[in-house]
Chain A
Amino acid sequence: MSGAADLVIETTGLTKRLGGRSVLNGIDLAVPRGSVFGFLGPNGSGKTTTIRILLGLASATSGDVRVLGESIPRALQQVLPRVGALVEGPGFYPFLSGTANLLRLDAADRYVSPSTRRQRVDTALERVGLSQAAGKKVGRYSLGMKQRLGIANALLTHRDLIVLDEPTNGLDPQGTREVRHLVRSLTEEGTTVFVSSHLLTEVEQICSHAAVLSAGSLVAQGSLEELRRAGEPRLRVVTPDLPQTHTVLRRLGTTPDDDGASPGAHIITAPLPDGVTPDRIVRELVEAGVRVNGFSVDQAGLEDLFVALTGEGFDVVQ
């Protein structure tokens, strides 16, 4: 269904080695036009390295990269004017005001009209809620304000693709929500948004598609629906009769997890066994004399999938 023309970002076998160590091992990214694409992975998994290569800041050791249909880095100068980006935190001159910083970056772009420069800068600042602080020196901005200014820079002119690397870093809950609104309004304008994050909830809330990176390899990719489907469904029984329930579930071919105990009732969860419908499970339980106070079948959350794919804990995967 999605031909190459519909892909805004397409990499094939993208590999990056740094000092003999492999940072990216053959990434095949496919970002459809018009999507909000979440690029997930724990710290150190290679998200920023991938983004740097997409934007021509770093070179790939091997592999093919296409952004907006053009080959990177060959067509970089033609592609970049159509791409707005916030990469690895904002970068601004502390001795210039927010407005002056944006004017400077806009002046470096040879493809935009200088006559609308001032107006575009003001609009971008207003969009991220920085109009009030526009004249203040960036050195006196808070982390969150710098982050907003970084996003404003990505919005200086109409873009076909916006890349936001950890956009909510340093933002308060209010700012995080504003970023979500912003991303939504960008999509309505027809811009594809590529968001990298180590925060799953963030991606789950705003993205239509996602890819999961772990230790330099892409372990999952697709629409959010597809990814959710990839996780196995789980059943959940609330009952005071613990041993009988276990017996029945084992007979049906599934292994119950440890219980979440609660007074007077047990909550038992287990993977939904293959080829057994939920109604049959309930019937079997009731026929075995189990008092079923509650029963549900849940799709695995993306979080379970994320943890399953990337491992749990704080260790940076090497």
Chain B
Amino acid sequence: MTFLVDLLAATLRNATPLVYGTVGETYAERSGVLNLGIEGTMYAGAFFGFAAAYASGSLLVGLGAALAVGLLAGALMGLLTVTLGANQHVSGIGLTIGLVGLSEFVNRLLFRGGELQRIEPFPLVEPPAFLGPLAPIFSQYALTYLAFLVLVPLAWWILRGTSFGLELRAVGENPEAADAAGISVARTRYLALMFGGALMGLGGAVFTLASLGSFTLDIIAGRGWVCIALVIFGRWRIGRGVIGALLFSAVYSLQLRLRILPGWGDVPFELLLALPYLVVILALAISGRNVAYPGAYLKPYRRT
């Protein structure tokens, strides 16, 4: 029972950065842009969020910095893929290489080879006492509450229920028709990329400002690519993407716990960790031609 409660708590905690990243990537892709810069954007959010919090002594300044870096990264992706119409995947890979490099470069400049710098991270929210044994589940970071209780419903509602969401989906499905209907394709895609980028930056900052309180190299460790997989796993829906993030996080948290139990040391947990990627590829293979990609996926739009 304690094991289960503990596992559930860890699942929610570990899913938090994935939720930010997945929702952010969903926005980008629904507007018709595959943003492979997500890995680098999360990395830069993690580093610059930490650096700003360290320099200013305020975690909120750190969050703001992560958000701003994400916005800028999204805007840069927009400049390349929307304004210039450059190849989306090459742009995204370039963005990731550049942002990871820039973060590590500034890291070396600021904290020149010294000992690991630490900040006091966000505390866990104290759950009310009446929850009894279930209390650990609700002992989470404010960023986790923000993700599940505010961000996910809000992002879902914006996409489904507002005119901006409708425009975003229209631009991603059929930019010619959207343009003819008087929607600015470029403006909408920029907004989607910048909003998505800001969320990716926040997702990266969860690691440094909440979970760890420090920045280490390779801190994102491919979780941006996990988000890319989750978006497709969720078929570009916010809700299903979040469920995917929870499933991945449950498996991840479970293997972390099994690993330290006696008798489990020799199990190849790498196989478990590879599951989400393989499941996505398998799902794509099974649904085959019927995968409902956003209509304008990977296509730059230019007025003719």
Partners in one complex: no
The chain B residues found within 8 Å of chain A, CB to CB, are none
The chain A residues found within 8 Å of chain B, CB to CB, are none
